[in-house]
Amino acid sequence: MAGEDTTLKTGKPWRRGALVRDPGEGHRAATPLELFFDLCFVVAVAQLTVSLEHAYATDHLADAVVGFPMLMFAIWWAWMGFTWFATAHDSDDVPYRLLTLLQMAGVLILASGVEKAFDGDTYRVVVFGYVVMRVALIAQWLRVAREQPSVRGRAQRWAIGMGAVQVLWLLMVIPDSEALFKAAFVPLMLAEIAVPVWAEQSDSPGQWHIGHVTERYGLLTLIILGESVLAATIAVKDAAEHGVTASIVTVAAGGLVIAFGCWWLYFDTLGADSPEGSVRTFVWGYGHYVVFGSLAAVGGGLATAAAQVAGHGGDHPISERTASLAIAVPLALFLLAVAVMSIRPNDPCGPNRLRQWAVAAVALVVMGAFLPPAPAAVVAGAVVAALVAIEVSTAHRRFVRGGAEEAGPETAGANADGA
């Protein structure tokens, strides 16, 4: 009706329509809604970490090796789809917020089904929650296709590709067969990750804001690191209820050093990175699946180590090798993933970092196969601390050398004489 007030109390219209954000937009930071959305994923990651620890404790290693990567993919891919859409088309109007709410509901549904899926009982709840998230995102892309002709081709490809894969996911859980679902998982996962590659080959220009995406990935890294520390802290607290021992203190101290070292290594390499270029953007974005998954698994490993040194496990005592490898293997994967993704064109430090971190990763796995959990946690912390020291030393030498080159040979010589 004419003269009707269509604005909220904040002065914004309730519906702004689908937007195409400027990829060079200044001060493009994570929004409160995005941060709220991330917190919902904390619930899903927490459920996954608890299930991983339970699989270790009950000697169900197959569930840990197979179930964890599958469920981590569902969590990560749903988060990633929202993040990359929001960086280009966040209109922050009422329809956008309500569709985001629907995606958050899907996250919680997925989280509620993690335990049963991890045990192989049923994948229906997880798949239903996942599809709810994806359907909401498909609606967002259709909105862009309808209202933004300049990017219609790309938006339509995103919506069509995602819609087709969701139908296949639903078909796979109708029989509710664990064997069928696991057999179909890898092909459907490949189909999921192929959709963005196909969609971005359209004639429509991409609109990704690299600075915003980098911040969003860094924030989720912090959340998962915090969840890992929380999982280990709860396990140490439970273990210490029957008395604090040197082994429990050692695992706790080693875990804190590992978490802090992982934070340091990530944000001094990938956290300040700009994944520019189409191929590098996909490698950087997809490679974070290993980063996020390995960090979450490190938390489960630390919790398992704390339970083992405390003698928990009931009828299924946790073996020392399982507890040690539960720390070493995911930490090694984290180091390899970050080292590979940190390699940039014309960067002489990248190949050296990869060689050093690869040696450290192999050493961690070998150590985990032979050391008890408490010494393994200490050695793992020492390895990460050594890599941090190498990175700090290398960065300092480059800074000094760069300062000397900028000052010129005469000034550099004078400074050297004065020193």
- State the burial class of residue 227 (Cβ atoms within 10 Å of its Cβ: 0-12, 13-18, 19+): buried
- The per-residue pLDDT for 415 is 44
Residues in the chain: 419
Report the distance separating Cα 24 and Cα 18, nearest Å. 18
CA distance 326 to 302: 7
Structure confidence at residue 350 (pLDDT): 80
Question: What is the rounded CA–CA span in Å between residue 92 and residue 328?
Answer: 42
Amino acid 278: pLDDT: 54
pLDDT of residue 4: 38
> Which residues fall within 8 angstroms of residue 283, CB to CB, at 6 or more apart?
275, 341
Domain boundary assignment for the chain = 32-199, 210-404
Q: What pLDDT was estimated at residue 1? A: 39
pLDDT of residue 277: 55
pLDDT score, position 414: 44
CA–CA distance, 240 with 395 (Å, rounded to integer): 40
pLDDT at 401 (0 to 100): 78
Q: What's domain 210-404's architecture?
A: Up-down Bundle (1.20)
pLDDT truncated to tens, each residue of the chain (419 aa)? Answer: 334 334 444 557 777 878 888 888 888 889 999 999 999 888 899 999 989 988 998 888 888 899 999 999 999 999 999 999 999 899 999 999 999 999 999 999 999 999 999 888 899 999 999 999 999 999 999 999 999 998 999 999 999 999 999 999 999 999 989 999 999 999 999 999 999 989 988 776 667 888 888 899 999 999 999 888 887 788 778 777 777 788 888 998 999 999 999 999 999 988 766 666 555 677 888 999 999 999 999 999 999 998 888 876 555 678 999 999 999 999 999 999 999 988 877 777 788 899 999 999 999 999 999 999 999 999 999 999 999 999 999 888 888 877 555 555 454 444 444 44
333 and 357 in contact (C-beta within 8 Å)?
A: no
